[in-house]
Amino acid sequence: MRQETIIPLISQSADFMAENKATPLRTLFIIPIVVGFATALFTFLIPKIFEKSNELSYSIDEPIAYLNSADVEDIAIEVNGVRTSSLFAFLAKI
């Protein structure tokens, strides 16, 4: 009884495949184009998903006083042609 139910299913699937043969256009052109597009998309998206974000962090410390007019009264400080009464430096860490 079981063999009787299997045989009609096999013959039906063979008839279906005979009627719907793959065309050479689909086999030779469309399928490779779809596979190539999927591969290119995969190759492009995977690095974008797992890419580490590029961030720049920095910190600026307190100003360091090298010369102050209150400490030294008789010194004239000139930097790049500009007279100033004190000289400070800032330390920036990147």
Residues 78 and 45 in one domain: no
Supply the range of the domain harboring residue 84: 59-93
Number of domains in the chain: 2
Structural contact between residues 92 and 62, judged by C-beta atoms closer than 8 angstroms: no
pLDDT surpassing 90 at residue 37: yes
Torsion angle of C-alpha atoms 9, 14, 17, 19, degrees rounded to 10: -110
pLDDT of residue 12: 53
Asked if residue 42 and residue 65 are part of one domain, the reply reads no
pLDDT of residue 88: 84
Q: Which DSSP letter does residue 69 get?
A: T
Q: Are residues 17 and 35 in the same domain?
A: yes
Using 50, 70 and 90 to split pLDDT, how confident is the model at 63? Answer: confident
Q: Has residue 90 got a pLDDT over 80?
A: yes
State the pLDDT at residue 8.
Answer: 53
C-alpha dist (Å) from residue 29 to 21, 40, 42, 79: 16, 16, 20, 73
Residues 8 and 34 in one domain: yes
* Helix ranges, 1-94 (H): 2-19, 24-25, 31-50
Residues 6 and 46 in one domain: yes
The tokens of 92 are what?
Answer: 């920036």
Could you tell me if 25 and 6 lie in one domain?
A: yes
Whether the CB-CB separation of 87 and 77 falls below 8 Å is answered with yes
Residues 9 and 35 in one domain: yes
> Is 44 in the same domain as 67?
no
- Mean pLDDT computed over 20-36: 76
Q: 67 or 45: which carries more pLDDT confidence?
A: 45
Report the percentage of the chain scoring pLDDT > 90.
9
